[in-house]
Structure 1
């Protein structure tokens, strides 16, 4: 009986145990893998962000960049001036009209909408006639032509002392001024208010009624 009580259970085999160094290696490898994964994700996010910034920058410098509309005056015709140039008619009532075309070129990809405007005709620093240019729209990268007619106020031009000498020389110097206001809107994101002012000076040959030495200067405000 005594021998049986003194029997004890055998110890566990020495081969069964926990390798602490192996667990530490697995943990370190997991941390390194997680760290590399975070760096890869951050790199991808940064690359995508930089790509978006570059695309927006290119669009701002090209497609979204608002360019100045270009206004030109062409095909100017004067009617009734031959009657004014006759010496016997000087001081008499005459009907003078100026017909011309104004082109509005829109270099932007978006449309340019402009409001009603007035074109003024000057002679010797005085307004001798005005014309109304109706509102319109120049589509993206298109040109729209506007025709107008100015009825010259003969009462104002006949009283100017310079008229007699200019008629004698055969050359009459006149100028025009117009101011067009409008908006350029790009996909409802970029809206720019544009004001274009144009001054044109020209000389009229009283014999041929041809326009000579026409010079136009434009000023654009965004």
Structure 2
């Protein structure tokens, strides 16, 4: 019995030994990429995208604040009247009464550049005094520089004169008779906002003010600028 058992046990061949050693080496050398490694890679991609989105949001916010040029605000104030002459019946022709108004108007125009981070370079322009869309005179608004976030001013003098059209205007005559004449001061003041030393954007400061001329007091009242 012992001899038979020994005869049934066969030794391993060399090829079988080599095959098993190759299987061991190949299985031990190949890295294993499991679900945990994939999760870490996905998280890294998400972090990169979030960082990029945050950077772009910050860049847009700062760009909109520092690189956006806004139109400065123009307003009229400190208006004085001299050499006032007004008459609702200066002369007659064909039984038609003529109305006249002559005066010198002096005021101060303020330019508010408070919302810009760059200086505003104003060009030379003119502003007008208007009655019912008819210009009664215009004055010079000289250019200059208005610092970033600051407000400056320019003086203006207008020789106001009624013309033939207004002299025959019924509303104009009625207002002179009442002693209160409604006027508008208007001007489009062009210039450049220097966002940087290279970037310059054209902007217009619109002067649009309504006011009432008090003939008795020889003064401007109810001055409102939009």
- What TM-score comes out, normalization by structure 2 length? 0.69
The residue number in structure 2 matching 1:101 is 108
Is the Cα–Cα contact under 8 Å of residues 75 and 208 in structure 2 kept in the other structure?
no
Where in structure 2 are the equivalents of 1:1-222 lying within 5 Å?
A: 18=21, 20-29=23-32, 42=45, 45-81=48-84, 84-85=85-86, 90=90, 96-106=103-113, 107-153=115-161, 156=163, 160-162=167-169, 164-188=173-197, 191-217=200-226
Answer 1 or 2: higher relative contact order, Cα 8 Å, separation at least 6.
2
Residues 43 and 187 of structure 1, relative CA distance in 2, 3 Å threshold: farther
TM-aligned CA deviation for residue 57 of structure 1: 1.8
Is the Cα–Cα contact under 8 Å of residues 87 and 101 in structure 2 kept in the other structure?
no
TM-aligned CA deviation for residue 209 of structure 1: 2.0
- What TM-score comes out, normalization by structure 1 length? 0.70
For residues 211 and 154 of structure 2, the distance between their equivalents in structure 1, rounded to whole angstroms, comes to 19
Residues 34 and 132 of structure 1, relative CA distance in 2, 3 Å threshold: same
For residues 103 and 196 of structure 2, the distance between their equivalents in structure 1, rounded to whole angstroms, comes to 46
Is the Cα–Cα contact under 8 Å of residues 76 and 207 in structure 2 kept in the other structure?
no
User: Which residues of structure 2 form unaligned runs of 5+?
Assistant: 1-13, 92-99
Is the Cα–Cα contact under 8 Å of residues 59 and 65 in structure 1 kept in the other structure?
no
Number of residues of Structure 1 aligned to a counterpart in Structure 2 = 199
User: Which residues of structure 1 form unaligned runs of 5+?
Assistant: 1-10, 218-222
User: What secondary structure is seen at the aligned counterpart in 1 of 2:117?
Assistant: coil
Q: CA RMSD in A?
A: 3.8
